[in-house]
Structure 1
Amino acid sequence: MKNYIFYSTILCAFTEALSLNIGFDLKFFYFVVFINFIILVSFNKVVYTKGLLIFHCLVLFSGLFSCVFGYNKFGYFFVQFFFLLLIPTYYNSFFNFFKDRFKDIASLYCKICFILAVIGFLKLPHDISIGRSFESLLLEPAHYCTIVLPAYFITLKDKSYPRYYFIIIMFSIIVSGSSLGFLGLGLSLILMLKKISFTRVILPIIGVTLIGTFVYFNFAPFKLRVDDTVNSMVSGDLSKANLSTYALLSNFYVSAKSFSSNPIIGNGIGSHVYSRELYLSKIEGIEVFESMNSEDLNAKDAGSLFSRVMSELGLMGLLGIFIYISKFYVKNLDEKSSIN
C-alpha cells in the first residue's frame, strides 16, 4: 500500500488530460488524491500545519466575504475551497510520510519528465502534420512546460543526474515554442545563483537578453506572441491578437479591474469567471473572439497564476506568493527544508 501511494501520487501529476467538465473540471487527479488521502487517514498519517490553517482561514474569509457582498457565488467557491483544503493537506502529508525518500521522489519525477520529452520528440512529426506543436502526452505546449520545468532545473543543478536529462528536456522546452517555457529557461539562469553580487546578477541578465533576442528572431511563434502582446498593450485593441495573447491580456485586464474593485483580499476563490462577465465586454476587439466562440479562453484559471491570484485573492494573495517563495526556495540541494 505504501508503494501504491508513492507511485500513484507522482504519476497522477501527469494526468491533466484525463478530465471531464461538469460545470468545473472533474479530473482523474482528484480521484487519486481523494482515495490516497483516505488511506493516509486510515494510517493516521495526515499532517495539518499552522501554515495551512492560516492559508485556509484567509481563503475562507475572502471567499465568504465575496459571496456575501455579491462578488462571487457560494457553489463554485465551496467547490474550489474543498480542493484547496484537500490537495495541499494531502501533499503536505505525503511529503511528511515519505520524508526520508525525497531524493527518490525527485528522481522518479525527473525520469518521467525525461520519458515525456522523448515521447514528445517521437510524436512531433505527427503533431506538426495536424497543426499542433510539441506537447508530448499533455494538453498543450504551455502545460507541458509547466510540468517539466522543475525537472529541467533539478537535473541542471544536481550533477547526480545524467547530463543528457536536462539537455533533452531543455531542447523539448525550446521546440515547444511556449513563451512560458522560454521565460522559465531564462529565470533558471538567475535561480542558479548561490550568492548575490553585481557580476553574478548582470551576467545572467545579459545571458537571458541574448537568448531572448536569439529566440525572438529565430522562432516565429515566439516572435508572433511578443509582437502581438506589445502591439495589443500599446493600442489597447485585441482584435488582431493571436489566441495566446488574447488569453493572457484579456484575463489580465479582468484581473486588474477585479483587483481595483477589491484590492486587499480580492473577490474570492472562483470569482474570476464572474468578474469576466462584468468586465470582458469593455475590452476593445472582443467581438472578434466572440465570433470564434473563444471569448472565454482560459476563463477559469485566468490564464496565469499571477492574474488569478490578483483577481481572486488581491494583495493578500500576491504577498503570500512572494513570502512562500522566499521561505521555501531551496538554495542548495544539500540543504533540508521543512514545512511548519
Structure 2
Amino acid sequence: MRLLDKYIIFSSVFALFTEACYFHFVIDVKLYYVILICNFLLLAKTKKITIHKNLIIILGFFTIHGVVSYLLLLNPIQSLIAQLLGISLSSIYYQNLIKYFSVKKLFEAYLDFSFYIAIIAIPMFYLNINVFSVGRLNGILAEPAHYAAIMLPAIYSFLRKKKYVRLLVVLLTVILSKSSIGFIGLALIIIIPLVKVKVFLKYSWIVILLLSFSIYYLSTVWDKPTDRSGVSSLVIRLKETEKSLGSIFSGKFEKNTNLSSYAFLSNAFITKEILLNKPLGTGLGSYRHEYDKYYSKMKPPAYLIRMNLSKINKTDANSLFFRMVSDFGIFAFLLIAYFIYRSFKLFKNEKRIAQQSIFFYLTLKLIREGHYFPPEFYFFLLIFLKNSDEDITCS
C-alpha cells in the first residue's frame, strides 16, 4: 500500500476520536473538518469520487422533504442547509473511503486506535487531564458517554476475536467512564448474542410465569401509601418512575425532577407534541425551532428555570430517536424498522463481526446523542450498511 493511502486511512480513522480537538482562527475550527476536507481533496486527486445511488436518494429525500417542510412551517432554512452540508460531506467522504480501502482495513485501524486511546485514557484519568467531571474517565473525547459509545464496537469485536488483553483494557476504561449509556451497551453486548428464537421459545413459560407473578404482586401493593411498611423500595421507585413518565403526556414536572430525567422527559414531550401535530415531520434540522413553539406547554421545575437549564438539549433532542421522529415524522419509523430488520439479518451471520459490533453503537446513538454528524457516525453507519467487506482497488 502506498504511503499516501496509509496516511488517508489512519488520519481518517483518527479523526473519529477528535470531537474535543478544535482551534480558534477567526471562528472555532474543529480538527475533524480540517482532516476531512484535506483528505477529501487528496482522495479526489488520486481516486474517482462517486456517490452511491442510495445515498443520492436519501439526500434527495432530506432536501425535498426539508424544503417543503421549512416553507410550510416558516422555519429559518439556514438550519436545513447547515445539516445537509454536514451530512453530505461526511457521508460522501466515508462512502468513498470504504469503497477504496475496504471495511477490513478501516475497521482494523479503528480497533488499533481504540486500544491505544484507551491506554492513554487511563493515566489521563488518574492525572486529571481533560477530565469532564471528577471521578469519570473520558480520555481524549469530550465526555464520558461519548467515550463509552465509541468504544463499544471495539469491546464486542475484541470479545468475539478473543483478544482478551485488549478487551480488558478498553472495558476498564468504559467502566471508569461511569456512563449509564456505556453500562447499557455492555448489557446489550452480553444479552443480544444469547437471544435465539429457539431458546426464547424453550424458556418463554418461565418469562410468562415471572411476569404474571410480578403483575399480581404490584396490583396488590400499588395503592398502598409509600410510607407504609411492607412496601418495598422497588415498588416506591416504580411509582416514582410512573409519576415522572406522566410528564411526557402532561408536560408538568415534579419540583425535584433531576436534570438527566428532565432532559429525557422534556424532549420526549416536545417530540410527542410535534408528532401529533405534524405527523409527516418538520424537516431536517428543524427541532430547535419547533421546540420553541411547544415549550410554553411545559411546566419545568423552578430550580431549572433559575439555572437557565429548562431548555436543555433543545438543539439535539437528547436522543437521535426523538430528533428523527420530530424531523421526519412517520418516515423515521420506516428507517428504524429497516435498522431492526437489518440487525436481525446481521446476527444470523457469524462472520459479520464488524457490522454486528456497530449495532451496539447505533442502538445507543438512538437512545442518546441527537447530533446528525458527530465525527464517527457515518464511518460506523456506512460500514453497518455495507454488504461486503471486500477490498476494491488497494492491494
Q: Tell me the TM-score normalised to structure 2 length.
A: 0.70
In the TM superposition, residue 195 of structure 1 has moved relative to its aligned partner by 5.0
Give the structure 2 partner of residue 301 of structure 1: 316
Kept after mapping to 2: 8 A contact 1:18/1:27: yes
Call closer, same or farther: CA 1:302–1:263 in 2, change over 3 Å: same
Identity score, percent: 29
Kept after mapping to 1: 8 A contact 2:256/2:301: no
In the TM superposition, residue 309 of structure 1 has moved relative to its aligned partner by 0.6
Among candidates 75, 79, 100, match of residue 78 of structure 2: 75
- Report whether the alignment pairs 1:165 with 2:166: yes
Give the structure 2 partner of residue 151 of structure 1: 154
Q: How does 1:182-197 map to 2 (within 5 A)?
A: 182-193=183-194, 195-197=196-198
The worse-fitting range, judged by mean Cα deviation, of 165-174 and 302-311 is 165-174
Call closer, same or farther: CA 1:109–1:180 in 2, change over 3 Å: same
The structure showing larger relative contact order (alpha-carbon pairs under 8 Å, at least 6 residues apart) is: 2
Give the structure 2 partner of residue 123 of structure 1: 124
Q: Helix, strand or coil for the counterpart of 1:197?
A: helix
Q: How does 1:259-274 map to 2 (within 5 A)?
A: 259-264=275-280, 266-274=281-289
In the TM superposition, residue 252 of structure 1 has moved relative to its aligned partner by 1.8
Which of the pair has more CA radius of gyration?
Answer: 2
- Report whether the alignment pairs 1:233 with 2:245: yes
- Report whether the alignment pairs 1:243 with 2:293: no
Q: Helix, strand or coil for the counterpart of 1:37?
A: helix
Call closer, same or farther: CA 1:186–1:194 in 2, change over 3 Å: closer
Q: Helix, strand or coil for the counterpart of 2:93?
A: helix
Q: Helix, strand or coil for the counterpart of 1:294?
A: coil
**Which amino acid in 2 is paired with 1:182?**
F
Q: Helix, strand or coil for the counterpart of 1:192?
A: helix
Call closer, same or farther: CA 1:25–1:326 in 2, change over 3 Å: farther
> 1:72-121: CA deviations, max 9, x gaps?
3211110101111111111111000102xx33322221222223333333
> 1:284-329: CA deviations, max 9, x gaps?
2254223112233222221111111111112212321331453376
Kept after mapping to 2: 8 A contact 1:117/1:168: yes
- Report whether the alignment pairs 1:312 with 2:320: no
**Which amino acid in 1 is paired with 2:40?**
F
Call closer, same or farther: CA 1:25–1:182 in 2, change over 3 Å: farther
**Which amino acid in 2 is paired with 1:316?**
F
Rounded to whole Å, the distance in 1 between the matches of 2:254 and 2:33 is: 35
Rounded to whole Å, the distance in 2 between the matches of 1:75 and 1:183 is: 36
Kept after mapping to 1: 8 A contact 2:132/2:142: no
Give the structure 1 partner of residue 371 of structure 2: none
**Which amino acid in 1 is paired with 2:327?**
E
Rounded to whole Å, the distance in 2 between the matches of 1:201 and 1:313 is: 39
Q: How does 1:14-53 map to 2 (within 5 A)?
A: 14-19=17-22, 27-53=30-56
In the TM superposition, residue 255 of structure 1 has moved relative to its aligned partner by 1.6
Rounded to whole Å, the distance in 2 between the matches of 1:253 and 1:108 is: 41
Give the structure 2 partner of residue 141 of structure 1: 144
The worse-fitting range, judged by mean Cα deviation, of 165-174 and 124-133 is 124-133
Rounded to whole Å, the distance in 2 between the matches of 1:319 and 1:249 is: 23
Rounded to whole Å, the distance in 2 between the matches of 1:253 and 1:20 is: 37
Call closer, same or farther: CA 1:76–1:279 in 2, change over 3 Å: same
Kept after mapping to 2: 8 A contact 1:239/1:284: no
Give the structure 1 partner of residue 178 of structure 2: 177
Give the structure 2 partner of residue 327 of structure 1: 342
Q: How does 1:31-110 map to 2 (within 5 A)?
A: 31-70=34-73, 72-99=75-102, 102-110=103-111
Give the structure 2 partner of residue 214 of structure 1: none
Runs of at least 5 residues in structure 1 that lack an aligned partner in the other structure: 207-224
The worse-fitting range, judged by mean Cα deviation, of 13-22 and 57-66 is 13-22
